[in-house]
Structure 1
Amino acid sequence: MPRKGMRSLCFHSKTLSYAASSHSSPSRPSVPTPKPTLADLMTDQSIEAATALITKWNPESSTYAKVTSLFYESKSEAMQFINCVNDLQKAMHALVSENSTSEKLVHAQNLMQIAMKRLQKEFYQILSMNRAHLDPESVSTRSSRTSTRSSTSDFEDDDDVRAAGDSIDEVEEVSSIAMADLRSIAECMISSGYGKECVSIYKIIRKSIVDEGIYRLGVEKLSSSQINKMGWEVLELRIKNWLEAVKVSMRTLFNGERILCDHVFAASDSIRESCFTEISKEGAMLLFGFPEVVAKSKKSPDKVFRVLDMYTAIAENWPEIESIFSFESTATVRSQAITSLVRLSESVRAMVSDFESTIQRDSSKSPVHGGGVHPLTLNTMNFLSLLADYSNVLGDIFADWPPPPRSSLPESYFDCSLSDDSPAPVISMRIAWLILVLLCNLDGRAEHYKDVSLSYLFLTNNLQHVVSKVRMSNLHYLLGEEWITKHEEKVKQFAANYERLAWSKVIASLPENPAAHISPAEAKEIFRKFNLNFDEAYRKQRSFIVSDPKLRDEMKLSIERKLVPVYQEFYNRNRLTVRGERNSGSHVRYAPEDVGNYLSDLFFGTNDSGSGPPSSTSSPHRRGSRSKA
């Protein structure tokens, strides 16, 4: 009813009452009616304004209101509607303090119910119609918009980049408007005592978005028995999907939902907590529960790197996990993430322990052809070099793990780098220990060679591979230059022992002073011994292998320096003295360049008999024309 009409009605009734009273009881004094206060007038105005606007948008009394969105039709009128509802709420408080049963209050309550149904409808429409603009990815970009703009500022002349930027700005603008509208409605409904209805709509719609996002990321609930039945290829694919899911969910899905929830329900800490918890808790528990199930499954060293990937994903995202799920009601999510970290740590330690046992148990007695690098060395160093790539998390994983027992290896294998008071980080100690276990195993394998020189060559090859792998990987930073230098010295010692045992007879067959004057008979005897010993050494060692090209060249050069110059000088001084002798070709079988050529053919592992030294009937001229390999 218009304010003027109400006031007229009240005025006339009061006047008639007063007149009748004065005629019937002339002796009683009149009681004046209280004059409306400014507060009364403002209350009436608030109810009158609310009546007009709320009735206009009452979907039950207007087809227009039923099919039209208030916030899409007119933003200014929508804000006016919110203001009217807020004023109506204040008016209702004023009326309750005066008369809790007044008709004005009943009328105001009816208006409030209509207004709340309208806002509830608007809230639902905004959430539903803006799913694309309120998706977590769009919302989460609000917090990183500054970096996005700075990254595109250098390409302002590029039309494509500018168009993409405009598109992003448009999406964010729509997203921001929708978020602002939702917040206005939520604050209005909460302050009016209708927060429950608002929250119910929000939870239903937003939870479906989170659940759908988790499903699309390929995360699903799996039991330990289901995982144990999977082949490794299938499980590895699941883990890869999970790793991507963690990245996306923490950057966009849960981050975006937290931003949206905090913004919409900024007026109430308890409501935004309950909303976010109900929306995200189930999906987050599913996401962070997967690693725990994997960690409990069957273990084998080849799985350790995927397990480490999962550990790294949680560890690197832990600040975000703590920030996004900071509410007390989401403590179970944080707890699940920590539980998964603990289980993954236990799994990694178990698999590394199994790997160590595998090294120790590997005891095949078949020597490697030519003293080359053993498959155990290749596999172990590949494993350890990959393991070193995870040094940032391995320190935490092995931090409280007891050191390996020294009793499992002979005391002679220990050195200062593994002493009890070593300052080396725990992961460096663990990797140094695993290499030590490998070297101990290799030392035992070297004994399987009948030729002692070949056993030293085997140790040379394998230790060289270990050192090279350390130097070329992150093992370098874990073990340090001192460790590398010390083991490089051991490689040189092994190589020197090989050279001494394999070539000492050949070197010893030449005189200490090759320039000394000797008789033709003595020269023939020296040539004969040299030929015999060189043939024997070469035929035995032409099948030997040195895998590392640089080491191969160094070893050949070392042998050549000890052998060829001495032989060259002896050959130049004495070959003419025996040339006039009968059967001189059988005495001087090798020219110095022949010796160098044959040495250059060493350490390639060839078994071709044609590559050996020539027979006694070979021509020196033809031998001298042999090209170097």
Structure 2
Amino acid sequence: MRSIFFKSSSPSRAIIPPPSPSRSFSESLMDENIDLAESLITEWDSNVSSYCKIIPLFHGDRTEAKQYLRSVRDLQSAMQFLVIRDSASDQLVRAQNLMQMAMKRLEKEFHQILLDNREHLDLESVSVSTSSTRSSAARSSVSDLEDDESDEEFRVASRSISEVEIISTVAMADLKAIADCMISSGYAKECMKIYTIVRKSIIDEALSHLGVERLNLSQVQKMDWEVVELKIMTWLNAVKIALKTLFYRERILCDSVFPASVPIGESCFAEISGESAMSLLGFPELVAKCKKSPEKMFRTLDLYEAISDHWPEIESIFSFESTSAVRTQAINSLIKLGEAVRAMLTDFEMAIQKDSSKKAFPGGGVLPLTRYVMNYISFLADYSGILADIVADWPLVLQSPLPESYFGSPESDDSPITVRIAWLILVLLCKLDGKAELYNDVALSYLFLANNLHYVVVKVRTSNLKLLLGDGWVTSNESKAKQYASNYVRMGWSKVFASLPEIPTAEIPPEQARDRFKKFNAAFEETYRKQKAWIVPDPKLRDEIKVSLAQKLVSAYKDFFERNRVGSESFVRYTPDDLGNYLSDLLYGSGGGGSVSSSALSCDWPGRPGR
């Protein structure tokens, strides 16, 4: 009886506890995951299947790609389970080998998608990363592994967007899915390497097609300015496209492919774009470091304006800490360009002051110096916004401030750029005062001043200079120019006026009348011959002077003529109409029409603004 109720157990049964249902189930599940993963991974192993060498995994409706990524994810879960339970198991080694095989396949797919879609990923659709269009198209890709029932929604969306947009959005979603899988599997480094190599080559190639070259300071300094200017024009076009399209979309693409890992996306973007962006934004600094001269001013301002206008894009696109060097380069270029502009403004002022011509300009016309300086300054006014930034912290040092009367009204703008421009014009006007002293004839010196100041006023009135200097400046200097013209009439024709009686309508003896006619004839002919070569190039000013002269001279002569011609016919050479005709031929200059040949340009003065 005892033997029946107390039957001894075998030693093995006494030591080993009953099997754990939960442990067996977990192990079985992991084994099953590994078996399923092995089946699919080896099926797409190019070393095993020649079919896989030709057909990509990511094609068609992505059904197999979804299964493949799900298998990799399950394989990773199995590996994590095995590491905890038995890190030395054969199953773990098997799983690791399968994972390496899967990663090689995904690397190949990732690389091929990048190459096949290099053009599509550079299109406008890339920038619409959050649009409903992209969301709909992406549903057909592996980025949404759980949603397999949106075919109808996708077809509806497809009808409203282009085929290329679909391709690009699907490609981005495929890249994102592969990147997520590789990164979560511990293969981030391999993923980043493939991505950066392919995308960097695309960026470099695109910039090359835009004409961007990687130059150093020595190369730029050895170039003729004409060559540098062409490269600046190319750069101005390229930087706009690069920042608004190329780098902008590359940043969006990085953000789209690596949304789950910002540091990885940041690192990829910095590696892809950093070097080329530094080179692109460093070119203006090279130009700024070259030899300065006035004709380089406007291209230098163009460069400054381009960087300044695109600063919001630069700051936004290259906002990462890893791309801070790009922002720094842009700022350095602005600083160097600003320094170059200030140096050229100083040189320009000195060139005006040092103009050494000691010969009076023929005919009292507008000096080439005046034309050049005012054309130059009017071009500067077109850049007033940029110049305001450049000279904001560069005050004009004067022994005494510019008088309020110079601006025409105390309410005039006295901003640094306005004061700087006003000062440059004042330097020119002072130089013109000195040039006027070269004339031996006072009347001709006044005509010279009238011509040149009138030219200055017209340039100010008809350009953006008026916005800087104000109406008061124009009115004040216009009045001064008219006063110079009035002084010319008074001084230039004083002998002729003096030959007529103080009261032309007064009756005088015939002998005195004949003597007056003789004196008038001699004075008029002498003055006419002397002033035949004098010139007023501006038609409006010329007509105003002639009208003023005719009103005074012809009117007085007519009164005298009509009162005293009887008995003095043999001494009368000119009727009032004759006088008017002679006056109408004046102030055109000996060259006919007041044109000035290019040979009259001072050889010491730089050429016209190259803009």
TM-score with structure 2 setting the length:
0.85
Question: Which of the numbers 530, 537, 544 marks the counterpart of 2:527?
Answer: 537
Q: Name the counterpart of 1:31.
A: 17
* CA–CA distance in structure 2, aligned partners of residues 468 and 314 of structure 1: 33
Deviation of residue 232 (structure 1)?
1.5
The CA deviation string for residues 243-286 of structure 1, in whole angstroms up to 9 with x for no partner, is 22212211222222211111111111110111111111111121
Task: State whether structure 2 residue 48 is matched by structure 1 residue 78.
Answer: no
Shift in alpha-carbon separation, 1:203–1:437, aligned structure 2, 3 A? same
Shift in alpha-carbon separation, 1:24–1:427, aligned structure 2, 3 A? same
* CA–CA distance in structure 2, aligned partners of residues 195 and 237 of structure 1: 44
The CA deviation string for residues 362-408 of structure 1, in whole angstroms up to 9 with x for no partner, is 0211111110000110111111111111112111111111314337x
The CA deviation string for residues 89-135 of structure 1, in whole angstroms up to 9 with x for no partner, is 23433443444344444433333222211111100110112222223
Give 1:53's aligned amino acid: L
Please list, as runs of the form range in 1=range in 2, the aligned pairs for 1:146-185 lying within 5 A after superposition. Answer: 169-185=162-178
3-state SS of paired residue (2:58): helix
Shift in alpha-carbon separation, 1:548–1:453, aligned structure 2, 3 A? same
* CA–CA distance in structure 2, aligned partners of residues 292 and 367 of structure 1: 42
Deviation of residue 419 (structure 1)?
11
Q: Name the counterpart of 1:623.
A: none
Deviation of residue 570 (structure 1)?
2.6
Task: State whether structure 2 residue 469 is matched by structure 1 residue 479.
Answer: yes
- Aligned alpha-carbon RMSD (Å): 2.9
Choose 110-119 or 428-437, whichever is displaced more: 110-119
* CA–CA distance in structure 2, aligned partners of residues 143 and 363 of structure 1: 64
Q: Name the counterpart of 1:557.
A: 547
Question: Which of the numbers 24, 42, 50 marks the counterpart of 2:37?
Answer: 50
Q: Name the counterpart of 1:11.
A: none
Give 2:19's aligned amino acid: T
* CA–CA distance in structure 2, aligned partners of residues 359 and 538 of structure 1: 34
Q: Name the counterpart of 1:116.
A: 103
Choose 109-118 or 276-285, whichever is displaced more: 109-118
3-state SS of paired residue (1:547): coil
* CA–CA distance in structure 2, aligned partners of residues 201 and 412 of structure 1: 65
Task: State whether structure 2 residue 435 is matched by structure 1 residue 445.
Answer: yes
Deviation of residue 458 (structure 1)?
0.3
Please list, as runs of the form range in 1=range in 2, the aligned pairs for 1:453-492 lying within 5 A after superposition. Answer: 453-492=443-482
Q: Name the counterpart of 1:621.
A: none
* CA–CA distance in structure 2, aligned partners of residues 426 and 26 of structure 1: 100
Task: State whether structure 2 residue 114 is matched by structure 1 residue 127.
Answer: yes
* CA–CA distance in structure 2, aligned partners of residues 403 and 143 of structure 1: 50
* CA–CA distance in structure 2, aligned partners of residues 313 and 212 of structure 1: 22
Deviation of residue 527 (structure 1)?
2.2
Q: Name the counterpart of 1:598.
A: 582
Q: Name the counterpart of 1:224.
A: 217
Choose 240-249 or 433-442, whichever is displaced more: 240-249
Deviation of residue 51 (structure 1)?
3.1
Give 1:556's aligned amino acid: K
Deviation of residue 43 (structure 1)?
4.2
Do 1:126 and 1:182's aligned partners in 2 also have CA atoms closer than 8 Å? yes
Please list, as runs of the form range in 1=range in 2, the aligned pairs for 1:181-580 lying within 5 A after superposition. Answer: 181-406=174-399, 415-417=405-407, 423-575=413-565, 577-579=566-568
Structure 2: 5+ residue runs without aligned partners? 1-6, 133-157, 593-611
Q: Which has the higher contact order (CA 8 A, sep 6+)?
A: 2
Deviation of residue 222 (structure 1)?
3.0
3-state SS of paired residue (2:356): coil
Give 1:496's aligned amino acid: S
Shift in alpha-carbon separation, 1:607–1:532, aligned structure 2, 3 A? farther
3-state SS of paired residue (1:578): coil
Paired residues, number: 560
Structure 1: 5+ residue runs without aligned partners? 1-20, 147-164, 609-629
Deviation of residue 302 (structure 1)?
0.9
Do 1:542 and 1:607's aligned partners in 2 also have CA atoms closer than 8 Å? no
The CA deviation string for residues 185-241 of structure 1, in whole angstroms up to 9 with x for no partner, is 001111111111111111111111222233333333333333222211122122222
Deviation of residue 461 (structure 1)?
0.5
Shift in alpha-carbon separation, 1:477–1:41, aligned structure 2, 3 A? farther
Do 1:138 and 1:171's aligned partners in 2 also have CA atoms closer than 8 Å? no
Normalized per residue, the structure richer in helix is: 1
3-state SS of paired residue (2:121): coil
Question: Which of the numbers 56, 68, 89 marks the counterpart of 1:69?
Answer: 56
* CA–CA distance in structure 1, aligned partners of residues 21 and 539 of structure 2: 110
Do 2:129 and 2:256's aligned partners in 1 also have CA atoms closer than 8 Å? no
Give 1:592's aligned amino acid: P
3-state SS of paired residue (2:534): coil
